[in-house]
Structure 1
Amino acid sequence: MGKKCQITGKTYNNGYAVSHSHHRTKKKQHVNLQKKKIWSSKQNRWITIVLSTKALKSLNQMKISI
């Protein structure tokens, strides 16, 4: 499985690492992914998903069970 949020689909961002002499090299800014167990009321079991912290925060605010 790649580094991608299973809910929002977020992946890495392209950017530059800039040195003191302003020499730029390409880099990837990876998304902050967490593995979480979420109770699924439809399947009546725990599901482990990989999601970004922003998606986790929105799930906690809405109190959604998958």
Structure 2
Amino acid sequence: MAQLASRGVVGDFRPPDVMRFGFSALYCRYVDVWDAAHALALEIGKSEDGLSDDQPQPSPPHPAP
């Protein structure tokens, strides 16, 4: 969760292996969900040594809502 927090994604970890994310419709935009999912995908793509398995990829363009 610390790596995601450094990317601006706030979540919660519950043992043994559950990550929770809450979205409030009052102030959460579609692009906020898109950015959080992209940050999670980047973290999942890292190898055990913390380095990316592939070359760094630029953030994809935000899809039209």
TM-score for the superposition, normalised by structure 2: 0.24
Q: Which has the higher helix share?
A: 2
Higher relative contact order (CA 8 A, sep 6+): 1
Q: Which has the higher strand share?
A: 1
Structure of greater Rg = 1
